[in-house]
Structure 1
Amino acid sequence: MPSSQQSYRGPLMVLTLLFFMWGLITSLNDILIPHLKGVFTLSYFQASLIQFCFFTAYFVVSFPAGRLVERVGYKTGIIVGLGTAAVGCLLFYPAAGAHSYGFFLTALFVLAAGITVLQVSANPYVNILGKPETAASRLNLTQAFNALGTTVGPLVGAVTILALVESDPTAHSVQMPYLILAGMLIALAVVIGLFRLPIIKDADGDSDTASTRVQHDSIWKYRHLVLGVVALFMYVGAEVSIGSYLVSLMEMPEIGGLDSQTAGKYLAFYWGGAMIGRFLGGFVMRWIKPNLALTFNAVMNIVLISSALVLGGKMAMWLLIAVGFFNSIMFPTIFSLGLKDLGHFTAKGSGLLCMGIVGGALIPPIQGLFADGLGLLTSFFVPIACYVYICFYGLKGHAMGLPKN
């Protein structure tokens, strides 16, 4: 057995690079929103359509992606995802040339479709690539590199996209960064194609009887999975919504009074907190029950955001940045709890869970509407409601409906 565990180190190292790349790409949206808001003179609600198109792809593509992965395997699924994401990045070039907001949104949808296939392929693969009892810890550690990517993303965007705004206040400043990203994604697809990843047919190790069990079982019987989809919806919605509006909030004179480039760099602290929290969580959760850690972090975020609404000013800015640290373990922990005991439904369950990521498409526009009507800081009550549900899932929902033998 030890030799088996030892053989997984190489594949896990390759997968961490994959997690890093899609984290970097996803967090660049937080730089695109204020930039394109200025270029196309958009309202907060209109600018939030960037996140809407990006994360709607998860809802549209996730379940078909689960079927694709079930048919072609995790490795091929990862390569397909990387190729699709690269095409999306390449579409940014003609979108900028046409100066079309609609074209940008289309490119983002294609890019997100590729990342969706990556999510559906890589998350369950990491989850089953080792001992079941350490699945949450293992997924948190690999997701820590995803958080490293989301930390680097705003810094990259600040020194490329936002830094070019003064000299070139048009959409053209996004062309070169996304061309480089396309090249990196293609190179990574080639590396993974040449790398020998272990073939794991079934998470429960009983693939020969899977077809007979499907006739007497349904994925919808797993209530903890269905409730987990809602929990991921709430979590991603809250995380993306906060990240989407933090730069604009920090630019407000009564809050941070920062210029856009400096605010973009400060946003890295928000994602950096998630990175640090995931590295710590990957070790701590070997001894603490995942659902308890999830509940504690959700409560802390409710306290932080509520305090920001009451105190305002620069204190509100730092309190909201601190939310990133407690966001850290939520995605991988919810994902791992949702996949528990799914057996031959693991790939489909992963696709279903990834559909919950559409929260990143729907929650930011909702907060944007409140921001336009009530004020940007006040609108942060929306993420509070999301974290309340996550508390429920951590306390009770994660264990509801687990089949009894």
Structure 2
Amino acid sequence: METDPSKYVVEKKHGWKQYADGYLDKIPWLQFAIISLVFPLWGAAASLNDILITQFKTVFMLNDAATAFVQSAFYGGYFLIAIPASLVIKKQSYKFAVMTGLVFYIVGCAMFFPASRVATYTMFLAAIFAIAVGLSFLETSCETYSSMLGPQKTANLRINISGTLVPLGDIAGILLGKYLIFGKVGNLADKMGAMHGAARIAYGEKMLQLTLQPYKYILFILIAILIILAITPMPKTKAVSLSKETDTKPSLFETLKYLSHNRRFQKGVMAQFFYVGMQTTVWSFTIRLALNLSDKISDSAASTFMVFSYVAWFLGKLIANFLMSRFSITGVLTVYSLLGTITLILTTSIPNMTAVWMAIATSFFFGPAWPTIYAHTLDMVTDKRFNETAGAFVVMAIVGGAFIPAIQGLVSDITGSMQFSFIVPTLCYVIVTVYFFFEYRYDRKHPEQITE
């Protein structure tokens, strides 16, 4: 009997074999496809936030810092639920956690029905928070699950293939918002600026009811995927110990102790915090930047720039995946991050609409940074019994999306310049670039440790 976790078979059913380290002997393509189809669902929710920020700012008469509460509620939900989600995975299964996430997502979308009638900012934030709870379950489970559905040597490739679908969800979300929320209203700020009293309140309530429209379509898709997942057999892909004396389910304290001594894992979590914060900030305020730099553009037309941003992101992922299959993963991401930092510097400094196009170019260089940091950071966890909770900590780093946009909003309010406030994500991108550079140097010195 072999004791190598990568060869010791602990489960054999439904056409696949699972080894002790949790990985499979081959990719179960149907199951992998189902999990991958969940990825664009959180992309759609995230991109709709960019539409909601513009809508809420005008209707509720908010400043830039207050509009960032949309992202704070969204990514704050991720932060609070990631660890509980990992405990659910540990106690139950990845499949159960994914289904739980879908249920919370459905509840959050359904909450837009009363929110659009009650018409209070707090009620909308509660609905967004509920969606975020579901997405925290989905990302905590799906990110790791995708990487585990097959041989270990192709784990990074699988998570990047799944991640490539996220921009498609972003594009779908922004298009739903563009045509169903903004519609033919034109520039909402100009139109409502000329209204007063009861007329303004009534028109604002009418505009808020439009926010419900995209979530109706998302609800149907969520229910369909939930049913498909419920009836499909899924691999466990959970690591087990080969020693009877070793507890196969380490406690949270044991996991924390293990991770507290893993410096490279901690650096990966830090990089993810700044990356997500930077990405969220750029996308949250690109529409606002366009509206500030041009007084001849409507809300709907400005949202088109986000479509371009997500297309650029998608193309950046495809090209990066091609390059990473031939060159050093950390090396490719170092170059991407450096070029992205340069485009953000230009976004901050060019005083015309070219700055918006530079922000769009930045999205190209976001590429596969999120899933790559995720998979690369999990690679630092050599004992795969800690995978579920370790993955939760990387997902918790998404809370950067709650803090960094709020900081940029404050900078914009204090300086009176939305364009200058893009210095905040620029500094974040510098940190991410430094992280990838030092990881690349480490990989060059220790090629035997590269598992990607």
TM-score per shorter chain, which class? over 0.9
The Cα RMSD (Å) is: 2.5
In structure 1, the partner of 2:268 is 228
The DSSP-based 3-state class of the residue aligned with 1:201 is coil
For residue 71 of structure 1, the aligned residue among 91, 99, 115 is: 91
Q: Within 5 Å, which residues of 2 pair with 1:1-400? A: 7-163=27-183, 165=185, 169=204, 170-202=207-239, 211=247, 214=250, 218-252=258-292, 254-255=293-294, 257-342=296-381, 343-374=384-415, 375-396=417-438
Contact residue 323 and residue 332 of structure 2 kept, 8 A? no
- Give the Cα separation in 1 of the matches to 2:155 and 2:324: 10
Distance 1:199 1:43, change over 3 A: same
Contact residue 65 and residue 117 of structure 1 kept, 8 A? yes
- 1:314 alignment partner AA: M
- CA shift for structure 1 position 83: 0.4
Distance 1:210 1:135, change over 3 A: farther
Question: Unaligned regions of 5+ residues in structure 2, if any?
Answer: 1-6, 8-14, 17-23, 189-202
- 2:238 alignment partner AA: K
Contact residue 234 and residue 359 of structure 1 kept, 8 A? yes
- CA shift for structure 1 position 236: 0.7
Distance 1:208 1:292, change over 3 A: farther
- 1:361 alignment partner AA: A
- CA shift for structure 1 position 209: 6.5
Contact residue 250 and residue 317 of structure 1 kept, 8 A? yes
- 2:157 alignment partner AA: S
- CA shift for structure 1 position 284: 2.5
- Give the Cα separation in 2 of the matches to 1:205 and 1:133: 20
- 2:35 alignment partner AA: L
Could you report, residue by residue, the CA deviation over 1:135-157 in whole angstroms, capped at 9, with x for unpaired residues?
Answer: 22221111010111112211111
Question: Unaligned regions of 5+ residues in structure 1, if any?
Answer: none
Could you report, residue by residue, the CA deviation over 1:308-353 in whole angstroms, capped at 9, with x for unpaired residues?
Answer: 2222212111011111111011101100111004211111111011
In structure 1, the partner of 2:19 is none
The DSSP-based 3-state class of the residue aligned with 2:238 is coil
- Give the Cα separation in 1 of the matches to 2:167 and 2:295: 24
- Give the Cα separation in 2 of the matches to 1:159 and 1:207: 58
- Give the Cα separation in 2 of the matches to 1:147 and 1:191: 23
Contact residue 27 and residue 151 of structure 2 kept, 8 A? no
- Give the Cα separation in 2 of the matches to 1:7 and 1:205: 22
- Give the Cα separation in 2 of the matches to 1:218 and 1:395: 26
- Give the Cα separation in 1 of the matches to 2:142 and 2:325: 21
- Give the Cα separation in 1 of the matches to 2:210 and 2:402: 24
Contact residue 102 and residue 138 of structure 2 kept, 8 A? yes
Contact residue 27 and residue 149 of structure 2 kept, 8 A? no
- Give the Cα separation in 1 of the matches to 2:241 and 2:172: 38
- CA shift for structure 1 position 393: 1.7
- 2:394 alignment partner AA: L
- Give the Cα separation in 1 of the matches to 2:129 and 2:209: 19
- CA shift for structure 1 position 205: 7.5
Contact residue 52 and residue 361 of structure 1 kept, 8 A? yes
- Give the Cα separation in 2 of the matches to 1:84 and 1:11: 21
State percent identity of aligned pairs.
28
Could you report, residue by residue, the CA deviation over 1:243-300 in whole angstroms, capped at 9, with x for unpaired residues?
Answer: 1111011112x35842110111221111111112222333331222221122111111
- CA shift for structure 1 position 179: 2.7
Distance 1:134 1:97, change over 3 A: same
Could you report, residue by residue, the CA deviation over 1:65-98 in whole angstroms, capped at 9, with x for unpaired residues?
Answer: 1111111111111000000011011111111111
Tell which deviates more after alignment, 73-82 or 307-316: 307-316
- Give the Cα separation in 1 of the matches to 2:434 and 2:68: 28
